[in-house]
Amino acid sequence: MKLYEKTAVELGAMLRRKECSAVEIAQDTFDRIDQVEDKVHAYLTLSRQEALAQAEKVDERLAAGEELSPLAGIPVAVKDNISTKGVRTTCASRMLENYIPPFNAFVMDKLEAAGIVMPGKVNLDEFAMGSSCENSAFQKTANPRDLTRVPGGSSGGSAAAVAAGEAVLALGSDTGGSIRQPASLCGIVGLKPTYGSVSRYGLVAFASSLDQIGPMGRSVEDVAMLYSAICGHDPMDATSARREYPDFGKTLSRQVKGLRIGLPKEYFGDGVDDGIKELVLAAVRRLEKEGASICEISLPSTDSALSAYYIISSAEASSNLARFDGVKYGYRTKEYENLIDMYERTRSEGFGDEVKRRIMLGTFVLSSGYYDAYYKKAKALQMQIAQEYAAGFEQCDVMMVPTSPCTAFRLGENMDDPLKMYAADICTITVNIAGLPALSIPCGSLEGLPVGLQMIGPRFSEETLFRAAACHEMLQGGPCAVAELH
């Protein structure tokens, strides 16, 4: 087995037994990148020199006998909407094509302190708006499990890099499903953490009340370890929760005896592929055999959630993206007649179609005369969705549903039909609307394409999600394999 095929836990053990060095791990990752990147196109920026320097430092510290974090020396790819000091951060937008941040996101400071190695920054839908990675202004990323298909989005670059063995772990961000849906389509594990558990400081804002950074990897334990490294209170983020977190990697159990699993019936009706439903239910039955119990529950507002999500997220996006005006950051048009003309041209040239669509929709639903009819109603629905979840969690500890209504679609297939693209989020968005944690893990495949099982818990129940997912992973025979890509 090559180094790039191993999990972070395995590599960490090898490093400590001196069976390999951090520099060798980094080198092996770059060799793999050189071998497959022209097929996958996951990376927007490679930071080879910086990564090797980080790895050398880890080797020196290990040689000096220092006790390092379990993530020291592990290659972690970072979604390109997370601010990295001195390394270009584009949000896959022309607007920020040459933007080099003068500061690190909170999570990057944490990961650097842990001694991770960052091979580079990975592709996404522009400003994280999309479900296929095709809205990137720079390149289309392919799904390593089938190169004719999308990797999902918006964290498609993160998922593809991990599935292809071009990174051991990755950070994504999830506003309406952007970690879980690509994890599902690429056959890896991804966690959207509880809102407020991971600081958003330095995450370029899309919809601030929904955005959350989270970990992606090929095993539950790896993902738990990365989550432990990035969660925690941050005074720089006013929505950051003040609480203590256990070391999720260390406390990981695989016991589901007595766990109450809820199956919300709305996720098993029309609109979700029958084969996907069967695989999800089969996985749940395997957990039942291990001692979990199953009950049916109902989340009646699921159907209207898509409209609420696109109203709330676009409203917030229209406000957040107002800062890209040709003055403060990034792109400015070449020729203009006056200030207003400069703003208009800069924004017309700097943003892609999907981003413009969201800004227009968001501005519309916030305008006086329409605010009550759309935004206010969407916010009322948000309350209702949160209440339905709370009622559901009186009957169960964790809900299990499909992550995506379909497997990876073909590149180009949904590009002319935004509504069809939006429907890809039907199984993931209510989680963000209610601020809950949810994890996606592979549960089999249909016609060779991975299918994801989504586990949703009450706020701050990550430990339960890891436990249920780890049991499922064990029953499936262990962590996900790297895609072969011949």
Q: Is 177 in the site for ligand GLN (CB under 6 A)?
A: yes
Residues near 213 by beta carbon (within 8 Å), at least 6 away in sequence = 82, 105, 107, 171, 172, 173, 174, 193, 198, 199, 200, 203, 230
Among 166, 425, 462, 473, binds ligand GLN (CB under 6 A): 425
From the list 172-180, 242-250, 324-332, 396-404, the region that binds ligand GLN by CB under 6 A is 172-180
Q: Which of 21, 47, 69, 79 is catalytic?
A: 79
CA distance 376 to 5: 49
Burial 184-218 (b: 16+ CB within 10 A, else e): bbbbbbbbbbbbbbbbbbbbbbbbbbbbbbbbbbb
- 154, 425 in Cβ contact below 8 A? no
Q: Which of 21, 132, 136, 154 is catalytic?
A: 154
- 130, 314 in Cβ contact below 8 A? no
Smallest distance, ligand GLN to C-beta of residue 57, A: 33
Using the minimum distance from each CB to ligand GLN, give the nearer residue, 116 or 429: 429
Using the minimum distance from each CB to ligand GLN, give the nearer residue, 323 or 420: 420
Q: What helix, strand, coil percent values describe the chain, rounded to 5?
A: 45, 15, 45
**String marking each residue 308-347 x if it binds ligand GLN according to CB under 6 A:** -----x----------------------------------
Across the beta sheet with 43-46, what order do the strands follow? 43-46, 120-122, 76-79, 169-173, 213-217, 189-192, 438-446, 449-456, 398-402, 260-264, 293-297
CA distance 78 to 408: 22
From the list 175-183, 218-226, 265-273, 293-301, the region that binds ligand GLN by CB under 6 A is 175-183
Smallest distance, ligand GLN to C-beta of residue 235, A: 25
From the list 129-137, 140-148, 243-251, 288-296, the region that binds ligand GLN by CB under 6 A is 129-137
Residues in contact with ligand GLN, counted by CB under 6 A, come to a total of 13
Backbone dihedral region of 54: left (phi > 0), alpha (psi from -120 to 50 degrees) or beta? alpha
Among 128, 385, 399, 480, binds ligand GLN (CB under 6 A): 128
What's the per-residue H, E or C state across 226-274? HHHHHECCCCCCCCCCCCCCCCCCCCCCCCCCCCEEEEEHHHHCCCCCH
Among 76, 105, 108, 129, binds ligand GLN (CB under 6 A): 129
Q: Is 182 in the site for ligand GLN (CB under 6 A)?
A: no
Q: Is 174 in the site for ligand GLN (CB under 6 A)?
A: yes
Using the minimum distance from each CB to ligand GLN, give the nearer residue, 261 or 436: 436
Looking up tokens 């949904």 gives 414
Among 73, 120, 130, 144, binds ligand GLN (CB under 6 A): 130
Is 47 an annotated catalytic residue? Answer: no
Smallest distance, ligand GLN to C-beta of residue 192, A: 8
Report which secondary-structure segment, H or E, holds 344: helix 339-350
Is 154 an annotated catalytic residue? Answer: yes
Q: Which of 69, 178, 199, 440 is catalytic?
A: 178
Is 178 an annotated catalytic residue? Answer: yes
Structure tokens at 126: 């522009």
Site for ligand GLN in 434-453 (CB under 6 A): none
Using the minimum distance from each CB to ligand GLN, give the nearer residue, 15 or 128: 128
Query: What residue ranges bind ligand GLN (CB under 6 A)?
Result: 128-131, 154, 174-178, 206, 313, 425
Q: So which residues are the catalytic ones?
A: 79, 154, 178
